[in-house]
Amino acid sequence: MPDLPPIVDSHCHLDFPDFAEELPQVIDRAVAAGVTRMVTICTKLKNAGSVRAIAEAHDPVFWAAGTHPMSAASEPLVTVDDLVSLADHPKFVGIGETGLDYHYTADSKPVQQQSLRIHIEAARQTSLPLIIHARDADDDMARILTEEHGAGAFSCVMHCFSSGAALAETALGLGFYLSMSGITAFPKSQELRDIFAAAPLDRILVETDAPYLAPPPRRGKRNEPAYTAFTATRAAETFGVDPAEFFAQTTRNFDRLFSKAAA
């Protein structure tokens, strides 16, 4: 891959067992590939200590924490104070991931929605960006985000965005960001690429969601932050811009949204 500006993996899960045997090497490979910063996401607050420790041990790594919607019913309901208290840490840069997931866990809709609103209030109080996971819940997600933003502004990224055009338009209309994962590089994802192509480039982030969703040419393998560049290079084609321009712009976007982790 030619020399390109540094890029950020805005969402990965470095505490997952997939990386336990070689985490330092994974981070080293990311840096060697030009991924100079990465945000590792805690999905259950009981794991916050181990996620924080990864960020403390590795200069390029920052962290965020919340309760994933698929765990909202099985984990203790998070409180605003729980989340706000984490924000004192110098490398804690976001609230979440939170959100709604009705694909496998539609039976827990009420508690997912309650948890989401709690995370939103924490994002307001800390002025840190909200990190949203949305799957098969477009209407409720658009409604809640719109209601809550009307009650008090907050910033937000729709992580690993793979929902419909209407939710993208709602999110962008609220001033939020959309994040491109390896899904956007899959051959059958043209409809999703079209949704992104209609979005402003200054509202786009890039992520791996590692260890999941490895982009071509690593599809089917364990994903890792070093592969951010593969997704970003394909994404540059979606926007019709030079890869160097796309890398630089999405890094500026990250710095604007995740200002606590700005270069």
Instruction: Give the mean pLDDT of 92-100.
Output: 98
CATH number of the domain bearing residue 193: 3.20.20.140
Give a yes or no: residue 103 inside a domain: yes
Tokens of 158: 């729709």
Domains of the chain: total: 1
Q: How far apart are CA 222 and CA 258, in angstroms?
A: 26
The 10 Å Cβ neighbour count of residue 187 is 7
Asked whether residue 2 carries a pLDDT value surpassing 80, the answer given is: no
Tally of helices (H runs) and strands (E runs) in the chain: 9, 8
Token pair for 172: 């962008």
- Residue 1, pLDDT > 60, answer no
pLDDT category of residue 211 using cuts at 50, 70 and 90: very high
Residue 263 confidence (pLDDT): 64
Q: Do 110 and 134 contact (CB within 8 A), yes or no?
A: no
Q: What is the span of the domain harbouring residue 102?
A: 42-58+65-206+213-221+231-261
Average pLDDT of the segment spanning 5-22: 97
Q: Which residues pair with 178 in a beta bridge?
A: 158, 204
Cα–Cα dist 33/3, whole Å: 10
Q: Which of 59, 62, 63 is nearest to 24 (CA)?
A: 59
How large is the average pLDDT for residues 184-199?
98
Residue 135 lies in a domain: yes
- Residue 217 exposed, middle or buried by CB count within 10 Å (0-12, 13-18, 19+): exposed
CA 101 – CA 99 distance, rounded (Å)? 7
Residue pair 113/72 in contact by the 8 Å Cβ criterion: no
pLDDT band at 134 (very low <50, low <70, confident <90, very high): very high
Whether the per-residue pLDDT at 90 is higher than 80: the answer is yes
Average pLDDT over residues 84-106: 98
**Could you tell me if residue 237 is inside a domain?**
yes
For residues 64 and 97, the answer to whether their CB atoms sit within 8 Å is yes
What's the mean pLDDT when you consider all of the chain? Answer: 97
Mean pLDDT of 157-185: 98
Determine the angle formed by the axes of helices 243-257 and 228-239, rounding to 10 degrees: 110
Task: Tell me the whole-structure pTM to 2 decimals.
Answer: 0.97
Residue 3 pLDDT: 82
Per the CB < 8 A criterion, the answer to whether 8 and 251 are in contact is yes
